[in-house]
Chains A and B, each alone.
Chain A
Amino acid sequence: MQRIGVFVCHCGTNIAATVDVKRVAETLLKEPGVVHAEDYQYMCSEAGQKLIGDAIKEKQLTGIVVCSCSPRMHENTFRKAAERYGINPYLVEIANIREQCSWIHKDKEEATEKAIILGRAAVAKVMLNAPLQAGTSPVTKRALVIGGGIAGIQTALDIADAGFEVDIVERTPSIGGRMSQLDKTFPTLDCAACILTPKMVEANAHEKITLFTWSEVEKVGGFVGDFKVDIRKKARYVDMDKCTGCGECQAKCPNKKTPNEFNRGLNNRSAIYTPFAQAIPNVPVIDKNACTYLKTGKCGVCAKICKAGAINYEAQDEIITREYGAIVVATGFDTIKLDKFNEYGYNTNKDVITSLELERLMNAAGPTGGHVVRPSNGEDPKTIVFVQCVGSRDTTCRGKTYCSKICCMYTAKQAMLLKDHYPWLDIHVFYIDVRTPGKNFDEFYRRAVEEYDVDYIKGQVGKVSEAENGRLLVQASDLLDNRQIKMEADLVVLATAIEPNEGVRRIASMLTASIDTNDFLTEAHAKLRPVESPTAGIFLSGVCQGPKDIPETVAQAGAAASKVIGLLSKDHLVTNPCTAKCNQVYCNGCSNCEKVCPYGAISYDEQMVIRFGARETTRVATVNTALCQGCGACTVACPSGAMDLQGFSNRQILAEVDAICR
């Protein structure tokens, strides 16, 4: 006979304010098999856990139901408590009466009733729980960082400094990322290159760091501690070992008609190129879609002039497989496409630019050598209009609902830097709100307004069109003065919303890491586990998790690194014993489970099975419990029910459903 104990948590007022916890305990005590039920203010506290321990001793409990918060929050806490007080941790079930009940209901009567039902389901399930033993799995002491921007570089450096090997996979020809495109950085105005390039050099020189630039993650297998990753090293057509980085090939390449991605298309580049002068590695790549030789077989100039003989037109993509214990996603961001924002004339007028394009114009290493000019005619601008929140905080479905977080600050920065260089400039900033939470941020913004006399106007720009004199006509509203504004400008800068880099969905799918509706990677817990993905062994660094500036990115990169170091320092990981199990008597041998298993944990072979009293050699499935992560996909795919998940068996799930429908 089972002896179940039920423990109902108040969670302060989180649960108790909307759920009559006493009634939940009293009602559940009447359930068959339940011999003990009580409520307590904070079940997860030391005192609460002791209540569970005392009841285990006094009432010889065989199973425990804790009615509290989400199992993701405290299942582990209560499992550990159960183990400490002498019963198998897998005989604990959590009824989530907080997130799934008290938080979403207002009516106490209804919420109480639902809490009772959820508790009843957990009691029905725990009746069928079996004690399980966790195993261990080894840890590969190497980390993979996907993305070589400041987030990836910092994470890699921190992990490598702790003595672990790190690989950085970067899909562009050089590490450096978005930060390498920036001019100066707020709020201290130190130049991006001056603080970034030393880190790039350090990453390249670090004996524990291996860079895979011009490479992409192709396939991810395995699980925490033992990932197997295929990396596609795209054909560079330039031998990394032979190239001296002299740059002669780029200068002589006759094909210079490709828009320069690094300069956001503000000028063109050659078919053989390095994105920027300080690129690491300083080895060019040949753009196979642009190169005349690779397209037509005629040209070959770069091969002829390369003294090192580094050009190899026959190069092919190469796939290498590496093993990792942990993976950090640091895929960064891009600005959104502005196709749907025709009112700003971005696609029709060259003098309407994004703020990232302005960064390139202001950058000493940019297409104009740092001289800010009107892209249409190369003339000096006299009036510049900044438009904030282009696609950010947008509820029209054209842009993003979130705040891109960095725009207010970089606009203040750009305005001040421009005023420094060109004091005669007339600068207007149209904004919804100016958001400056951060150390020295508001002081920075106030300097722009008070000392630099930047004209901040609360209001949105409705239309940017071309005036007859060739300048831009900006129509806007001033919400504070309640008036319509028409002004002429020479340059309009759009503070374009940022979004996760293209391709993050592909990466997230490969990693089975969850993403939100905006394609930002989801953290395991918004507050308590902000740098971990819910998928074990996957960590998040930088803007792939949500908009953030450089200091926050670097802080998060360090946090992700410390989590990775914590993981890699272990020799063994405790595995989840809730794994699938095949009852071979009922296995048809159909391979459905093998096909859906994301971990390659299921294999088939001919085995001798005693089936309904007769011996038979037949094709059946076997689960490798070291690989199985307990996702349950196989149990759903199995038509005969031969495949079952320990701890979440078909019978247990049905028992829960029955208890709810009772």
Chain B
Amino acid sequence: MQAELIARAKALLADGTVARVLGWRKGDTDFNAEPAVFETAESLDEFVYDGFCGANLSKYMIKNSKLEGKTLVFLKPCDTYSFNQLIKENRINRDNTYIIAVGCYGKLDINKIKAAGNKAILSVAEEGATLKIHTAYGDAEMAREEAVLDRCKVCKGGKHVVYDELASFVDEEKPAAEGRFDEVKKLEAMKPEERFAFWQGELSRCIRCNACRNVCPACSCIKCIFDNNNYDAAQKVNTSSFEEQMFHIIRAWHVAGRCTDCGECSRVCPENIPLHLLNRKFISDINEFYGEFQAGEDTTSRAPLTNFTTDDVEPSIVKERG
């Protein structure tokens, strides 16, 4: 898998098709791969593609697609939706991009591996359906299935919605998983005060590290309103006692109808706040009110929230849903 991608990247660099490669390299640990730009064949030896390459690279293409020469980017199926959405919003120069679609078997959650009782993990090797975990206290095994990220359990399917070439190990036919909105339904079933308490509990852990915002492909404003002193929202969110709610709720509104549900916000949250649930609630409501809609499925359709038809749901109905 990884060797194939490195070989392709080297070939495309060598024949001048692309000027640089956007991929992943090993982070400070074996299970912490991070996005990286490679400009030479030698540097590509550091390239990795494994179960820990959860990072969605599409947002990095805003900057890279503006550079001289094409950029090669590797996109997993769910990443391609974010990429398309950014094309739709005129943020990425598609002509300056070369996409290799890579297959995905669900990305791994190190927290789940730790929670299974593995301490001082040194490395994690993937062998088919099994993970071989090497720790300072000895080796262990666990089923790969048990260690995948929650977001991958409700995978949108194996299809890439945009690419230039497919890697050999893709499965475009892989069906979408069921139950994507089960967690949303649980929230909706709560009484308002229970729901408030739930979010209060979750959001009060927020340390405003901004990781969710910085990783989110939809949060790609040139200047975020929370960093802009021209708007009072910035100061307010920084000082108010309910800043955490306000920040996250405003963020959810700003990405409503544009969020592809890539789940990066929850993956990177150091406090493990299920931030994706706010966005998924919006998606579920949009589907219900305006018909099934998947942001980033194409680059031309009008998103329900920026479109108007006479069939649109009446505001009173929207209000009723809360």
Taking beta carbons and an 8 Å cutoff, which residues of A are in contact with B?
505-506, 509, 583, 585-592, 595-596, 598, 604, 611-612, 619, 637, 639-641, 650-651, 654-655, 658
Contacts and interface: CB of A to CB of B under 8 A. Distances in A.
B302 interface: yes
A376 to B, nearest CB: 40
B85 to A, nearest CB: 10
Give the interface SS of chain B, mostly helix, strand, loop or mixed: loop
Interface stretch (B14-22, B49-57, B227-235): B227-235
A12 B113 CA distance: 74
Chain A CB count within 10 A is highest, among B223, B255, B302, B308, for: B223
A611 B222 contact: yes
B306 interface: yes
Given A640-B222, A640-B223, A592 B306 contact: yes
Nearest to A595: B306
Interface residues of B, number: 25
Given A583-B230, A651-B231, 18 more contacts: A509-B308, A588-B91, A588-B222, A589-B90, A590-B90, A591-B89, A592-B306, A595-B302, A595-B303, A595-B307, A611-B222, A639-B258, A640-B221, A640-B228, A641-B225, A650-B233, A651-B230, A654-B236
Contacts of B222: 585-588, 611, 640
Contacts of A619: 90
16 contacts: A509-B310, A589-B89, A589-B90, A589-B91, A590-B89, A592-B89, A595-B302, A596-B308, A637-B305, A639-B221, A639-B258, A640-B222, A641-B231, A654-B232, A654-B236, A655-B232
B224 interface: yes
Interface in B193-243: 220-225, 228, 230-233, 236
B114 interface: no
Closest 5 CB pairs of A and B: A590-B89, A640-B221, A595-B306, A639-B254, A641-B225
B228 A641 contact: yes
Chain B CB count within 10 A is highest, among A588, A604, A655, for: A588
A654 B224 contact: no
A612 to B, nearest CB: 8
Contact of A586 (B89, B228, B303, B305): B228
Nearest to B85: A590
Nearest to B224: A640
B223 A590 contact: no
A98 to B, nearest CB: 25
A659 to B, nearest CB: 12
Given A639-B221, A654-B233, A598 B308 contact: yes
Contacts of B254: 639
Contacts of A590: 89-91
B86 to A, nearest CB: 9
B239 to A, nearest CB: 12
Interface in B171-199: none
Nearest to B233: A654
Contacts of A583: 230
Chain B CB count within 10 A is highest, among A506, A586, A651, A655, for: A586
A604 B221 CA distance: 17
Contact of A506 (B220, B225, B258, B310): B310
B256 to A, nearest CB: 10
Contacts of B89: 588-592
Nearest to B232: A654
Nearest to B234: A641
A583 to B, nearest CB: 8
Contacts of A650: 231-233
Contacts of B231: 641, 650-651, 654
Contacts of B303: 595
A26 to B, nearest CB: 29
Nearest to A611: B222
A596 B306 contact: yes
B307 A640 contact: no
B315 to A, nearest CB: 12
B310 A588 contact: no
A442 to B, nearest CB: 41
B187 to A, nearest CB: 24
Contacts of B220: 588
Interface string B289-314: 00000000000001101111010000
B306 A637 contact: yes
A306 B231 CA distance: 72
Contacts of A592: 89, 306
Given A506-B310, A509-B310, A598-B308, A588 B232 contact: no
A612 B308 CA distance: 35
Nearest to A637: B306
Interface string B247-289: 0000000110010000000000000000000000000000000
Chain B CB count within 10 A is highest, among A591, A611, A639, A640, for: A639
A589 B90 CA distance: 6
A309 B178 CA distance: 63
B223 A586 contact: yes
Contacts of A654: 231-233, 236
A397 B230 CA distance: 51
B221 A588 contact: yes
A641 B89 CA distance: 16
Contacts of A598: 308
Nearest to A586: B223
Nearest to A509: B310
Nearest to B231: A641
A658 B240 CA distance: 12
A592 B302 CA distance: 10
Given A589-B90, A590-B91, A651 B306 contact: no
Contacts of B91: 588-590
Contacts of A596: 306, 308
Chain B CB count within 10 A is highest, among A611, A641, A654, for: A641
A641 B225 CA distance: 7
Chain A CB count within 10 A is highest, among B221, B228, B254, B308, for: B221
B259 to A, nearest CB: 11
Nearest to B302: A595
Interface string B64-91: 0000000000000000000000000111
Contacts of A641: 225, 228, 230-231, 233
Contact of B232 (A505, A589, A651): A651
Contacts of A506: 310
A595 to B, nearest CB: 4
A311 B221 CA distance: 60
